């Protein structure tokens, strides 16, 4: 490769990146395959070589999103335990909701577009939420809370509210409210 030249990402990666952006900003059902292939700079044949159809791409995008969340949570857990880990995870959520262009939780948004709880997209969302709830349960258990399952469910509810508030209530500090509420719930245990 010559100096200054950049290698074009693999077509599958371009499709995932393009779809992730379009699905998040425009909604899954409003984006068609033609728009995806045009904006990713690939052919329909290339699209179908990598994905059986649009729903396969939707699932792949959710799996990519989940992998990013898991890596971020793992980084917090590698640095902290117990109370500090919980506050670190809540801070991570707070940073997310304060990002420019934030449009809510990609998982909640996807679930809203797929109302059938048995649909593969909804099952993917449910699995992600169960994993996240389990992480929170383990963290608050490590922090010594006497009812870690109950508190984890409450924290997921708070996180969901912060995600919605971060999108709808721009200018409000959902991040600080989330952190304070998590601390109060943990301390009330």
Look at residue 1 in the predicted model and tell me its pLDDT. Answer: 45
pLDDT in tens, 71-122: 999 999 999 999 999 999 999 999 999 899 999 999 999 999 999 999 999 9
Q: Which domains does the chain have, with CATH numbers?
A: 9-51 (1.10.10.60), 55-188 (1.10.357.10)
Q: How far, CA to CA in Å, does 97 sit from each of 12, 33, 184?
A: 28, 29, 20
Euclidean distance between CA atoms 80 and 3, whole angstroms = 42
175 versus 132: which is more confidently predicted?
132
2-26 residue pLDDT tens: 445 567 789 999 999 999 999 999 9
Q: What local confidence, expressed as pLDDT, does residue 8 receive?
A: 78
Assess contact for 60 and 69: CB atoms under 8 A.
Answer: no
Q: What is the pLDDT of residue 169?
A: 87
Q: Which of 11, 54, 9, 12 is nearest to 30 (CA)?
A: 54
pLDDT score, position 173: 84
Q: Given the structure tokens 């077509």, which residue do they identify?
A: 11
pLDDT for 141 = 97
Percent of the chain with pLDDT over 70: 96
pLDDT at 171: 58
| Mean pLDDT within 65-73 | 97
Among residues 172, 168, 161, 186, which one has the least CA distance to residue 88? 186
**Coil, strand or helix: which one is 75?**
helix
> Which residues, 6+ apart, have CB-to-CB distance to 158 below 8 Å?
178, 181, 182, 185
Residue 136 has pLDDT above 90, yes or no: yes
Average pLDDT over the chain reads 94
Beta strand spans in the chain (E) = none
Cα–Cα dist 153/137, whole Å? 8
pTM for the full model? 0.91
| C-alpha span between 4 and 147 (Å, rounded) | 56
């Amino acid at each position: 490769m010559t100096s200054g030249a950049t290698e074009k990402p693999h077509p599958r990666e371009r499709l995932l990146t393009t779809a992730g952006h379009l699905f998040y900003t425009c909604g899954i059902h409003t984006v068609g395959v033609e728009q995806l292939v045009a904006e990713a700079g690939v052919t329909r044949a290339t699209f179908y070589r990598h994905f059986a159809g649009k729903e396969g791409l939707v699932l792949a995008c959710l799996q990519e999103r989940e992998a990013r969340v898991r890596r971020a949570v793992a980084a917090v857990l590698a640095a902290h335990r117990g109370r500090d880990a919980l506050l670190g995870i809540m801070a991570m959520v707070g940073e997310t909701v304060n990002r420019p262009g934030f449009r809510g939780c990609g998982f909640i948004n996807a679930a809203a577009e797929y109302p059938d709880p048995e649909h593969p997209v909804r099952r993917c969302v449910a699995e992600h939420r169960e994993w996240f709830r389990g992480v929170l349960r383990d963290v608050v258990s490590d922090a010594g809370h006497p009812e870690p399952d109950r508190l984890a469910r409450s924290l997921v509810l708070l996180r969901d509210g912060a995600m919605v508030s971060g999108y709808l209530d721009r200018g409000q500090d959902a991040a600080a409210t989330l952190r304070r509420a998590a601390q109060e719930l943990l301390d009330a245990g």
